[in-house]
Structure 1
Amino acid sequence: MIQSKAKSEAIEKRSLNIDIRAYTMILALLGIWVIFTVLMHGDFLSSRNLSMLARQMSITAILATGMVLVIVAGHIDLSVGSVAGFTGAVAAILQVIYHWNTVPTIIITLLVGFIIGTWQGFWIAYRKVPAFIVTLSSMLVFRGGILLITKGVTISPLHQDFGIIGQGYIPPSLSIALGVIASLAYIIIDINNRKSRIKYGLSVPSLSIEISKIIGVIALIALFTGVMISYEGIPVPVLIVLVLVLVLTFVANNTTFGRYVYAIGGNKEAAIYSGINVVKTNMTIFLIMGILSAIAGIVLTSRLNAATTSAGNLFELDAIASAIIGGASTLGGEGTVPGAILGALIMASIDNGMSLMNIDYSILTIVKGLVLVIAVWVDISTKKRG
């Protein structure tokens, strides 16, 4: 009874910490938007720019959804940018040189990502080589691989239907339908979570607070949908991100694999003694990361309508920064997929706002680096106080 109570209190405390961090990041995002809106006389919050911002952050968000699982498990992946660029180059070569159609091109590209994830997972999980070393090696290997398979030239143009993946929009009527479906899905999930907490004796907010929360989320969904359809509709890359967020959030919170990832990151030795197959779990994490890197590569190549030798350069910085800013702990055991998306949106907002203000790219890179350092410092300081 005492152990059960202590466990419940620990879960509630962890949930509270995550909520506080999430609200802090939301306030930080709103602050960034207000600053850029004032400096740009309102142009930053135009429907066109917000639509472009959402599409711009999609590639980082795709990588960040997988990176948060990697970091939660106590690892790091420095290869995601190079892998995204390499798999995108594979897709371009299949279409431009070998004249493959879009569907088989996507399948083979995802298979390449799967093989890369298998390769990295093998060395990390089975050969016990630190993930930092393995992925650093892969970063160099696949950056060179891009130059090798493209022969140092840009590969373009791609098929028109392939371009829809990175450049297309969902029609307004369908966008509205998706917004309604998302709202209903959130209501159902929230009600089920509330019932589950009550069932296991965990505290729940009052019904009025719960209803207010649901109304607030639905209002945000409606606002997002309204802004998107006021331009051309929900961008296809954003829809891909939303699907991945739903799938990976479910995996992280409602599957045995997800619980194993958090357990390994929280205390690896305890996880081993508990009978968790750490090797298999680590292997699966990097398989997922390989596939997500391939998806990011497909979206990137589609968006550019070309494969370039510099594609994916420094994407690993944005992905890692997004996960950490969104609440993933560098010490492992903490982090959420929605938090990583919030972090990606913050990074993309800084990038977008400074680019629109014609600030030199070198300054932008410096700012991103400082943001990452501050985010890690806040994480470590919070851990020490805890």
Structure 2
Amino acid sequence: MQFPDQPILIAALSVGTGIAVGFLWGVVQGYIIAYLRVTAFIVTLGSSWLLNGLILLVTEGRTIPADQPTFAQIAQGYLPNEIGWIIAVITIILLFYGAISGRRRKRRYDFELPPMALDIAKTVGFSVLVVGYVYMVNQCHRGIQAPVLPAGARRAGRRLCVEQYALDATPTPLAAIDRRRSSPASTSGATSSRSSC
């Protein structure tokens, strides 16, 4: 099926298909790493070689140029100023939500919590940076660059997934392990076991 006179639809379908395939491939890799216990380095490197080979087979070794104006807008365009401020507000809300949910997760796993004032100060500092960045690009340029949005979303999503996986994959909270190691009962038990040997 071809849509020669609908460049926006072509771009949307192309980007959506790419994201869907990447998501499914990432799920498969995550399953292999988490449940089949294969080293992440091996899985990702092998996947890279496999995908490169498939790309060569599909394209027959030829470069497919993306010279449509819509794709150029994705790579080189700018977002309107109003959209930039909306993104700034959403980002600040997500920053505060991430700080609050992060403290809840650490408390649930019995990790040591930093002072609330420190978390608030850090979140406010990042919020000021976001507002300053949006103001600067709106005043000095034509708005937020289009490639910045997916790159920032990808980085934020990766960090959230890594932090959540690190907490959920820990069968025993690290803080509890440290307390047991430093507790008098564990120390006396270890001393008696060494003396008995």
Q: CA deviation at 1:115?
A: 4.8
Partner residue, 1:231: 141
Q: CA deviation at 1:144?
A: 2.8
Structure with higher Rg: it is 2
Distance 1:227 1:145, change over 3 A: same
Q: Supply the distance in 2 between the matched residues of 1:201 and 1:260 (Cα, whole angstroms).
A: 13
For residues 37-82 of structure 1, the C-alpha deviation after alignment (integer angstroms, 9 at most, x for no partner) is xxxxxxxxxxxxxxxxxxxxxxxxxxxxxxxxxxxxxxxxxxxxxx
Distance 1:233 1:210, change over 3 A: same
Conserved? CA contact 1:171–1:233, under 8 Å: yes
Partner residue, 1:259: 167
Partner residue, 1:106: 15
Conserved? CA contact 2:103–2:113, under 8 Å: no
Distance 1:145 1:228, change over 3 A: same
Task: Could you tell me which runs of 5 or more consecutive residues in structure 1 were left unpaired when the two chains were aligned.
Answer: 1-93, 268-386
Conserved? CA contact 2:32–2:43, under 8 Å: yes
Q: Secondary structure at the match of 2:142?
A: coil
For residues 172-209 of structure 1, the C-alpha deviation after alignment (integer angstroms, 9 at most, x for no partner) is 232123223433443455466668878979554374x5
Partner amino acid, structure 1, of 2:53: G
**Equivalent of 1:148, from 39, 43, 57?**
57
Q: Supply the distance in 2 between the matched residues of 1:124 and 1:193 (Cα, whole angstroms).
A: 25
Partner amino acid, structure 1, of 2:126: V
Give the percent of matched residue pairs that are identical in Structure 1 and Structure 2: 27
Partner residue, 2:130: 221
Conserved? CA contact 1:124–1:131, under 8 Å: yes
Task: Could you tell me which runs of 5 or more consecutive residues in structure 2 were left unpaired when the two chains were aligned.
Answer: 175-197
Partner amino acid, structure 2, of 1:159: Q
Distance 1:110 1:193, change over 3 A: closer
For residues 19-38 of structure 1, the C-alpha deviation after alignment (integer angstroms, 9 at most, x for no partner) is xxxxxxxxxxxxxxxxxxxx
How high is the TM-score relative to the length of structure 1? 0.34
For residues 134-165 of structure 1, the C-alpha deviation after alignment (integer angstroms, 9 at most, x for no partner) is 44333333323333322222212343333333
Partner amino acid, structure 2, of 1:162: F
Conserved? CA contact 2:106–2:113, under 8 Å: yes
Q: Secondary structure at the match of 2:62?
A: coil
Counterparts of 1:316-335 in structure 2 under 5 Å? none
Relative CO higher for 1 or 2, CA cutoff 8 Å, sep ≥ 6?
Answer: 1
How high is the TM-score relative to the length of structure 2? 0.58
**Equivalent of 2:47, from 113, 134, 138?**
138
**Equivalent of 1:244, from 154, 157, 171?**
154
Conserved? CA contact 2:79–2:146, under 8 Å: yes
**Equivalent of 2:95, from 165, 186, 191?**
186
Q: Supply the distance in 2 between the matched residues of 1:231 and 1:168 (Cα, whole angstroms).
A: 11
Partner amino acid, structure 1, of 2:167: R
Instruction: Provide the aligned C-alpha RMSD in A.
Output: 4.3
Distance 1:190 1:145, change over 3 A: closer
